[in-house]
Amino acid sequence: MVENALGSIPDYHFDSLKQIETGYWWYEGRLLWTKRFITRWLEANAFTEAIYYVDLGCGTGGFGTAIHSSFPTKCSLLVDNNPEALKRISTHAKIQTLAMDLEAPFQLPVKPNLITCMDVIEHLKDDQKFLKEIYSCLKPGGLLVLSVPAHQFLYSAWDKSLGHHRRYSKRDLIQKLESAGFKITSASYGWSFLFPAAPYRFLSSKTQEKLEYPKVSARLNKALIFAAQCESKLASWLPFPFGTSVFIAATKE
């Protein structure tokens, strides 16, 4: 078990994450939202520069590697403060890893114009300071895509086991990002169709704390991915009032 800024997480949890980081509905849904945000950013700015990409809090690297492969990135840097997670990432000339304490002031060895930070800031004691650090690292005109767990009233023993300090409303997260200097370009609740089932996790986690994501059948997994595809498309013109995550895209002017 490794003790770090994101809390005590058993090493076996990283093996579990590695197994589901390709094809599992939760990972695939986050990719759908993020790819849509990045595509809009590229199209809106008629982007011709090389993309220098950083994934902060990359975990076992599946998400960051997928983003790297989906866009014309010049180079990608996957950053995490847990060496046990970084050991499970396959790197090559254009994908590098970096161990870094995300709670401490930091500088990156590259000046990125694209940063993702997926389900990370809820682990940090001072999330506002971290967002300001990200702002200072990002190139002007650059894009940040960020996700967090939604609604503090859903905070449960499961969150505590994962080292979450809090959950967020969309308004709270927008305010924090704007306070750090960002301009919000898109913000939405996600997994809205799962919201009715959220109390089940809250109730069950009171008696048994689990870090692992639930196994689902191939048919259900495919259905959840399809629902996420529909939701991410609808969100551009139909705002969802609730969900179990918040997805936000923000730029540095």
Helix (H) or strand (E) holding 117: strand 114-118
- The C-alpha atoms of residue 76 and residue 54 are separated, in whole angstroms, by 6
Q: Which CATH superfamily is domain 2-251 in?
A: Vaccinia Virus protein VP39 (3.40.50.150)
- The neighbouring-strand residues paired with 53 are 76, 114
| Per-residue pLDDT tens digits for 200-227 | 555 554 444 455 677 889 999 999 999 9
Q: Grade residue 100 by pLDDT with cuts at 50, 70 and 90.
A: very high
Is-contact 110 75, C-beta < 8 A? yes
Pairing state between β 7-9 and 183-190: unpaired
What tokens does 91 get? Answer: 């790197």
Residues sharing a CB contact under 8 Å with residue 155, sequence separation 6 or more, in sequence order: 164, 166, 167
Is-contact 162 147, C-beta < 8 A? no
- The C-alpha atoms of residue 24 and residue 213 are separated, in whole angstroms, by 10
Q: Grade residue 12 by pLDDT with cuts at 50, 70 and 90.
A: low
- The C-alpha atoms of residue 121 and residue 163 are separated, in whole angstroms, by 11
Domain range list for the chain: 2-251
Q: Around Cβ 247, how many Cβ atoms within 10 Å?
A: 29
pLDDT confidence of residue 156: 85
| Per-residue pLDDT tens digits for 63-88 | 999 999 999 999 999 999 988 889 88
pTM score: 0.90
Residue that the structure tokens 């301009």 belong to: 183
For residue 38, pLDDT over 60 is answered with yes
3-state secondary structure of 58: coil
What are the percentages of helix, strand and coil residues in the chain, rounded to 5?
A: 40, 20, 35
Integer angstrom CA distances of residue 224 from 3, 22, 150, 197:
34, 14, 18, 13
**Between 162 and 196, residue with greater pLDDT:** 162
Alpha-carbon torsion (135, 137, 143, 146), positive or negative: negative
- The C-alpha atoms of residue 85 and residue 64 are separated, in whole angstroms, by 13
3-state secondary structure of 220: helix
